[in-house]
Chains A and B, each alone.
Chain A
Amino acid sequence: MGEHEPSGIFEKTFDGLLGQDIYFWNFIILMIFTLAEVGAVFFVGIPLNVVWAILIGVGIVKGYGIAAYFMHLKGDPRIYTRTALFPVLFVLLMLWGIGLSNPDGVDALPGWCKPSWDYATNR
């Protein structure tokens, strides 16, 4: 966590606001999104699409907040960001090739996000 000059809209807006630094505001925003995430679990009858939107949307915002500010990828040399992002390709491959590849899986997913396993099921 080295000190650095504020950059980007978020940092320029929040760093120093009300006498608090960027880590404090990042924490507040993470808490608000966590509240939304936890709140969604308590609500009943949420459609599946909304669940996915919450799951992915909150995940991206919280992931960015933690990685960029708490883990300080924003401000550290780029090599650390590249290191952190290196497994993403493999993760995506695993999610696509394993996670979404169930031949008996739901058919609500569009075809483009499911790998073709016809050769396996037709054999």
Chain B
Amino acid sequence: MSGGEAHVENIIWMRAVVWGGVFLVLGVLAFATMGVGVANVKHHDYEDALHAYDEAKEVYYDAKNAYELAEGDNNTTAAELSALKTAKENAETAYKDAHDDEIEAHLSYLTWRTAGVTILLMCITYAAFLALGGFVNSIQPSDDHGHDDHHYGGDDHEHHGSGSPIVFSLGIMLFLMGFPKFQAVLGNMLSGEEFMLGDLGVSMIGLTVITLGIANWWREDLPFIGNGEQIATSAPFEGQHIRKAGLWVFIMSEIMVFASFFSSYLRMRTGWCTKWSYDEGTCREFPNMVINSHEEHPDFVMTASDYLRPDGAAGTGDFWTLLPGAVNTFALIISSYTIVLALKTAKAKNWEAPKGALGKLMPTQKAAVRNYLLATFLLGSMFIVLKLIEWSHLVAEGFTIGTQAGSIFYISTGAHGLHVFVGLLVMLYLVFKADTVGYDENNGQGIEYFGLYWHFVDLAWVVIFPAFYLY
């Protein structure tokens, strides 16, 4: 190994495999406790609430019929009619309360079930990502380790460039080419219908190429301690790190992706007759109609904010429906700061351990960088879990992807969530490197470049959140 790189033993990669196992255990535990244990209790509560609702409904309709019959009967005295009316009103109140309880119990069940399943699926992905990458690298011959391809003509001009992204991109292309059949086969497998295993072929080859590309990328990057960063030699980025310039160009393309979602949303949104546009007097379709609720006018377009906001037209919104989105907004901002702290700590020349409890969490500079990255990772993971909980509630309340408003909402917020999730996978590697080779002022740019992507994801949420939750 050349002196410009850290010496990385193959055995170190086994740590990634072990981490993968830990994630798997954590995922199974989370699923068993939240997705099965608590969710089953909540499901019983939901069934009880449903039963109580059915009973209350029956009582209400009995009371209503009795009152209507008595109303039409001339023999009924005023006192009897009044008693029946009171009974009907009480039954109606109980019926509505039971309905609210049933919805609340259902959403509570969905919260735990979705959280458990999401954490399990996320942990399986994390485990597969770490374990496969670690395993592939751990079985490489030790003397073949490092950047053999980084020598030009036998001299010492090493560089930190890599061909792995091209391999990785090829894998993604193959995966997406086979994706229509891939998802159809998975759907058939889950529903117990017949399927052709061969239809998984193209996507599976794609996934294999992706795995190899990522594993090789890690193998090339892990020993990097700051020597050989490629510098642009021509305008407009002359003298700048090529990786950084490349990342900014990538972000540029990402801005266009989100701009297309946002402009599509805006085009549709300006044409919808929502309660807001009606109240504002800008609803062309129904200029003379008095609308008090969605039930009175089913053609009224319901947006996500109608379901989530406390004064939303769907009437389903309250403090709790908005909470996941609100918490997520803070989570992303905090995670942006924790990654800044990770970079700041890595770059610090005279770092001192903080005093008190924080000092115990971060006794060394290396541990501090790792833990700040870990905090970012946990906040990002929480974002995904809360996002899917929120989705499950919206779907349960009738806001599905089958509607125009639902389609643009789920596609936009889903694309953003996908970006967060991809960022989390990259962050797993950053945490792994921070824990093994470590980051310092010489190679801290790895955190900086990832941080640019992460901040962009935060920036995209700055637009998405008010546009979909407020408007």
Contact = CB atoms under 8 A, between A and B. Distances in A.
Interface in A21-78: 21, 23-24, 27, 30-31, 34, 37-38, 40-42, 44-45, 47-48, 51-52, 54-55, 58-59, 62-63, 66-67, 70-71, 77
A95 B270 CA distance: 12
B309 interface: yes
16 contacts: A21-B344, A31-B334, A34-B330, A40-B466, A41-B470, A66-B462, A67-B459, A70-B336, A84-B251, A87-B252, A98-B263, A98-B266, A99-B266, A102-B270, A105-B270, A109-B270
Contact of A102 (B237, B267, B310): B267
B262 A95 contact: yes
Contacts of B455: 66-67, 70-71
B255 interface: yes
Interface of B: 236-237, 240, 244-245, 248-249, 251-252, 255-256, 259-260, 262-268, 270-271, 276-277, 280-284, 305, 308-311, 319, 322, 325-326, 329-330, 333-334, 336-337, 340-341, 343-344, 347, 448, 451-452, 455-456, 458-459, 462-463, 465-467, 469-471
Contacts of A27: 333-334, 336-337, 340
Contact of B330 (A31, A42, A90): A31
Contact of B340 (A1, A44, A91): A1
Contacts of B334: 27, 31
Contacts of A59: 462-463, 466
A31 B467 contact: no
A58 B329 CA distance: 13
Given A58-B462, A94-B263, A108-B280, 6 more contacts: A38-B329, A44-B311, A83-B252, A94-B259, A94-B260, A102-B270
B330 A108 contact: no
Contacts of B236: 79, 82
A92 B334 CA distance: 29
A3 B444 CA distance: 13
Q: Nearest 8 pairs between A and B by C-beta?
A: A99-B266, A105-B270, A44-B311, A99-B263, A106-B282, A98-B263, A102-B271, A94-B263
A80 interface: yes
Contact of B266 (A84, A86, A100, A107): A100
B240 A79 contact: yes
B76 to A, nearest CB: 43
A63 B462 contact: yes
